[in-house]
Each structure stands twice: as structure tokens, then as C-alpha cells.
Amino acid sequence: MVEQARARFPEGRYDVGDLRQLMRPTTAPGWSAVLGWYSLIHLAASELPGAIAALARPARPGGLVVLALHVGDAVRHLDEWFDTPVDLDVVLHDPHAVVAMVEAAGLVDVEWYHRGPITGRGETTERLYVLARTPH
């Protein structure tokens, strides 16, 4: 994905790293928003508290943390995704546990939305979307 982004938008800056080691910007007190859009699907449930705390850490006071996850209690293996061969395990997470972890990470004004699959788009999993703020 990063290679494709660099090819399409060469003027951009792209860093590859571990989301659990995100840093604040060097010229500001933090990011206005941190987006974890389906990036937690690669982590076991036991790794989520640390990962969610790590996503919140570089956000500025009052900054947003936005998450999207697949909902469930299983690991699904994919051999194909969007007509592309892959070897990928997707971890489904309990929505109530995730919301509790967001709150335990010290985030406030937590809002969440749990929806079913949109079968017309070929989706087979429920989804959880979470929006929260770091304290001021």
C-alpha cells in the first residue's frame, strides 16, 4: 500500500512503522486526530489495550481517536481480498470489550456504532466504529 501511495503521490511523506510506537509531531503538541481504520484487525485481543493507549498517546489534548474494527470472536483467514491473492488472518473483536478498552485508555466523550454487514458489498462481518477524544 505504501509503495502504491508513493507512486501515485510522490510529494507525500510516508513512514512505515508499528502503530504501537506512534510519535507526536515535532512541531506541535500532538496530532489533531489519530485514525486506526481496520488496523487493529491484525492484533490479538490481549494486545488491544496497549495498542489503543498507544494510538491515544500522540493525540493533542482534546484530539480525536477514531477506530474501525471487525466484530466477533474468531480469527478469519483470507486467501483472496478484493480479487487479490493474500495470506491474511483477520482478528474479530468483541465490541463491548473494545469500548471498555477505549475508556480504560483514558479517552473521553466515547461514541460508538455497531452495524451489521452490508451484504450488497460482499461484507460478511459486523463492524464497530469508535470516536473518542483525549482529555483537555
The model's pTM: 0.88
pLDDT on residue 24? 87
**Contact between residue 58 and residue 26 where contact means Cβ atoms under 8 Å apart:** no
Q: Centre a 10 Å sphere on the Cβ of residue 121 and count the other Cβ atoms it contains.
A: 6
Give the whole-angstrom CA distance, residue 109 versus residue 103: 9
Q: What is the pLDDT of residue 58?
A: 95
pLDDT tens digits for range 70-116: 999 999 999 998 889 999 999 999 999 999 999 999 999 999 999 99
Element spanning 29, H or E: none
Query: What percentage of the chain's residues is helix, strand, coil (to nearest 5)?
Result: 30, 40, 35
**pLDDT, tens digit (0-9, with 9 covering 90-100), for 17-61:** 888 888 888 888 999 999 999 999 999 999 999 999 999 999 999
Q: Mind listing the domains of the chain with CATH numbers? A: 30-133 (3.40.50.150)
Q: Which amino acid is at 71?
A: V
Q: Give 3's contacts (C-beta < 8 A, 6+ positions apart).
A: none
User: Which of 116, 125, 117, 73 has the alpha carbon at shortest distance from 94?
Assistant: 73
R_g of the chain computed on alpha carbons: 16
Is residue 110 within 8 A of residue 56, CB to CB? The reply is no
